[in-house]
Structure 1
Amino acid sequence: MAAEESGSAVGEAAAAANGDCPAAAAAVASSSADDRILPRSSTMPGVIKNDEITNETAGPSNLQRSRTERRRQNNPADDPARQLFDEKIPIKKKLKMLNRIAIVKDDGTVVVDVPSGLEDTVGVGTEDGYADVTVDDSLDGLDIPYRPPMQIVILIVGTRGDVQPFVAIGKRLQDYGHRVRLATHANFKEFVLTAGLEFYPLGGDPKILAEYMVKNKGFLPSGPSEIAIQRKQIKDIIFSLLPACKDPDPDTKIPFKVDAIIANPPAYGHTHVAEALKVPIHIFFTMPWTPTSEFPHPLSRVKQPAGYRPVQDPQKMTEIIVQALEMTGQRGIINKGWGGLGTLAEPKDFVYLLDNCPHDWLFLQCKAVVHHGGAGTTAAGLKAACPTTIVPFFGDQPFWGDRVHARGLGPAPIPVDQFGLQKLVDAIIFMMKPEVKEKAVELAKAMESEDGVTGAVRAFLRHLPSKTEEITPPPSSSFLEFLSPLSRCLGCS
């Protein structure tokens, strides 16, 4: 839902905006003076000296309990996850432990039971840690390394919200003299060609893929009937990747030979193609793809369902939206999208129905937005300084809803199966608070200084191997070896 300048508006369509995704980060540093004042805590769990226990900030009982828990967690014998990799433990016992840790529900969701007091026991410099990794966050376009002109293919599977950011990246790469082919679903051919990029069709239908994720809370199918449909989708996608990297343009017949690959994770076989062609690959996504100290992986199933139902009753949802706008005295724009919203029994002078419109333009005309919570739509709303309410359906949408709420930019997300009149009314009232608008404006100003496209291009070019480095695939990872069992799995001869 997007809102007009004197009202609010509701949108459920896929993302159509290019922008950076919202995230929170925090850092704590202590000076040398602080080091002299604050007592140092022992990092060795088995040794606690009496003179290390003080009463300056925390009670002795709390401090002692914390150290006891840390000792217990650092003991591999007490860690079920580590026991799963212990070769001395019988398989039957491991299966019982696995059933206690993770349960696959009937709807395909994998529920993981993580102890509430669990702490990260992997530290910098340990065997399993990522030590001495330096990340340069500078996005200054002047320090983008020069690379001779290359032929680059961008492999993207997903909705328009997944495709659009890579259109911007491709155009920027063209500015630096590279030839760019964007390979994605046939639905987006006109969109890609209009942007001035070369296009190559990948298999798969984004609407079918999205409907599957909406219907199934996890990636696992909820019923046998789903398997055949998704097997065909995956087969079509995977077997179109290699031609996308080496076949001539299907329209102009101009030859193409890839020098480097950019892909998003749902493109599945991207790594195997890169190994077969012995070219470098860089994987990008529109959301964090690794866990951080701030939040887990956005698709992790830690006692929280990550997907909900298709708008099963769009007529009822439309009525709720109209009533909420009327009760709060707001005007609204209903963006119909794939969900079938926007069927009114009678016209309302405070409601405008919209089929499709770029969010980065639309949201600038609004003072609040309510939407499904896709990465691109969330970014567009926050970049326009709009307080935001997210009604998540699946995937990373609950994650963005939680991040928006944590920053005070909107109310707690409303899962689609809990969507109701009072909740929407309360959400609109919350977004109309001056302090919420102030926070949205503050974040929008911070986002103005970010240049995600330049940062992505710079990261891609910086991490390309030098001419002296050779891209050699592991002996057992050839693309033909990968396709052979896959063909049998997908029902191919």
Structure 2
Amino acid sequence: MKVTLLTIGSRGDIQPFIALAQGLARAGHDVMLGGPPDFTELAARYQVPFTPIGASIQILLQDSAVKNAITGGGVLRFLRTRNTRRADLYAQLNREALALCRSADFIIYKNAVLAAFGIAQKWGIPCAEVRLQPYTPTTAFPAFFLKGRASYGRLINWLSGFVLQTVVWQILRNDVRAFWRDELQLPPLPGLWPDRMLARAGVRIFSPISQHVLPRPHDWPAHLYLTGYWFLGPPPGWTPPPEVVRFLAAGEPPVYIGFGSMPHQAPRATFDLITRALQRSGQRGIVYSGWGGLSGEVVSNRLLVIESVPHEWLFSHVKAVVHHGGAGTTATGLRAGVPNVVVPFFADQPFWGWRVAALGAGPAPLLRQRLTAERLAMAIEQAAHDPTMRARAREIGARLQAEDGIAQTIELLRVQ
């Protein structure tokens, strides 16, 4: 079966699709992954056939208005900012998605690539939607834009989820409106309740999230599956950089600190904050520079700055991980069986920070907008020395290591 996979976003939005593509290929399927051009080389390292679609995400994240919205922490502000460029970006994405799906027998698409659902309906191709974050309303927890607490009570939880889903759905509908009308010539999309629309069309929703991290709410629809995470190991033939191996061997396990693709208004100031926190906590550290360009003067042999090392390998060699709370990084951090300190910037990141804290595998999240060296040092000290937290992190890690979300997803596809 020819399976076309479509996704957009940063690395955390791409890696799960690469992992699933690998699993589908091992199961005998002919796969093609479409994603941002930034990840052409990444897909090649994993020997996954790849076609660039849409614009560069790295360039978009360096746009000053987008950077201000992300570092300010506001989801709605970020979405409004992107609207100034969305029309052109999505016109390109929709056209290229259409071309890529022409020979597909099955389409698997991230929910933000809504054009793929329309293409599948137009040509009668079976499909499945992927949601990396929980968007469906539930009484069990609030929408991720409410970043202050793990729960606000059943009513507020559900209402916030309804608001989030409605806002996101309106934006996605607008992204494909002209394409839907002029190219696909399909009836207009409904104004509300996208889950019901997908259920009527027989489309299942796969969320690559573990129920050990997020128990499935009882009020979610039956066609929404928590499959377990789609983990991606190091690429074939990869060996760790010698300088990283030497650093790890030179002393006690360090603390990893990195914020992925998140931009920084003042990268040097953030780097200095990190070094002060490590000094206060008495820990060795590995700092990932990332797309945000974290860098500065390294004046101690207790600190190493790296460009890129697979988290799946590195996290198993450190004492704790400090990160932005992206869904994929959180999953990998928990799977490593070490405490996670989440420093969320925006979007769903505070939600995952609160999940980590609720599991007992890390302290309460530290919002990036309020981060100080003192607060970060205290969280690192707790992660490094709290025996209960460390034991709970090991327990969660063992459970996640025993799961195979890719195999579960492929099995669900077999009974399509």
Same fold (TM over 0.5): yes
Which residue identity lines up with residue 153 of structure 1 in the other structure?
T
Q: How does 1:411-422 map to 2 (within 5 A)?
A: 411-422=363-374
Structure 1 counterpart of 2:49: 198
Distance (Å, rounded) in 2 between the aligned partners of 1:219 and 1:240 = 27
Equivalents in 2 of 1:459, 1:210: separation in Å?
35
Q: How does 1:336-351 map to 2 (within 5 A)?
A: 336-344=289-297, 346-351=298-303
What's the counterpart of residue 104 of structure 2? 258
In the aligned structure 1, how far is the partner of 2:413 from the partner of 2:347?
26
Q: Indicate conservation of the 8 Å contact 2:12/2:327, yes or no.
A: yes
Separation (CA, whole Å) in 2 of partners of 1:168 and 1:227: 30
CA shift for structure 1 position 286? 2.4
Q: Extract unaligned runs of 5+ from structure 1.
A: 1-149, 247-256, 465-493
**Which residue does the alignment assign to 2:405?**
452
The alignment partner of 1:352 has SS state of: strand
1 or 2 for the larger relative contact order (CA 8 Å, sep ≥6)?
1
Cross-structure match for 1:218: 75
User: Amino acid of the residue matched to residue 332 of structure 1?
Assistant: G
2:40 corresponds to 1:189: yes
Secondary structure of 1:339's aligned partner: coil
Query: Is residue 243 of structure 1 aligned with residue 126 of structure 2?
Result: no
Which of the numbers 4, 8, 16 marks the counterpart of 1:165?
Answer: 16
Q: State the distance in 2 between where 1:362 and 1:159 align.
A: 20
Residue pairs, 1:107-122, within 5 angstroms: none
The answer to whether the Cα contact below 8 Å between 2:335 and 2:401 also exists between their aligned partners in 1 is yes
Aligned residues: 299
Q: CA deviation at 1:230?
A: 2.7
Deviations 1:165-195 (A, max 9, x none): 1112112111222110011112212222332
Q: Which runs of 5 or more structure 2 residues have no equivalent in the other structure?
A: 148-155, 165-261
The C-alpha deviation readout for 1:367-395, integer Å capped at 9, x for no partner, is: 10101111111111111111011111122
Partner of 2:131: 285
Percent of counterpart pairs with the same letter? 33
Comparing 196-205 and 284-293, the one that deviates more: 284-293
2-structure distance, mates of 1:399, 1:351: 30
* CA distance 1:295–1:221, shift in 2 (3 Å): closer
TM-score, length-scaled by structure 1: 0.57
Cα distance in 2, alignment partners of residues 329 and 431 from structure 1: 12
Q: Which protein is richer in helix relative to its size?
A: 2
Note the 1:48-447 alignment, pairs <5 A: 150-210=1-61, 212=66, 214=70, 217-219=74-76, 227-246=83-102, 257-299=103-145, 310-344=263-297, 346-432=298-384, 433-447=386-400
Q: If you compute each CA radius of gyration, which structure gives the higher value, 1 or 2?
A: 1
- How many angstroms apart in 1 are the aligned matches of 2:372 and 2:307? 23
Q: Secondary structure at the match of 2:5?
A: strand
Contact 1:310 1:393 in 2 (8 A): no
Work out the CA distance in 1 between the residues paired with 2:381 and 2:296.
25
Q: What letter is aligned with 1:183?
A: G
Query: How far, CA to CA, are the matches of 1:261 and 1:170 in structure 2?
Result: 12
Matches of 1:456 and 1:425, distance apart in 2:
40
- Report the counterpart of residue 221 of structure 2 in structure 1: none
Using the TM superposition, give the Cα deviation of residue 300 of structure 1 relative to its aligned residue in structure 2, in angstroms: 6.3
Deviation at 1:282, TM superposition (A): 0.3
**What is the identity, as a one-letter code, of the residue corresponding to 1:336?**
S
Tell me the alpha carbon deviations over residues 343-382 of structure 1, each in whole angstroms, 9 at most, x when there is no partner.
Answer: 12x5221110101110011111101010111111111111
Amino acid across the alignment from 2:45: T
Match of residue 109 from structure 1: none
Q: Distance in 2 between matches of 1:219 and 1:236?
A: 23
CA contact (8 A) 1:386 1:440 kept: yes
Matches of 2:138 and 2:83, distance apart in 1:
33
Shift of 1:399: 0.8
When residues 338 and 276 of structure 1 are mapped into structure 2, their CA distance, relative to the original with a 3 A threshold, is: same
1:328-356 alpha-carbon deviations (Å, 9 max, x no partner): 21100110001121212x52211101011
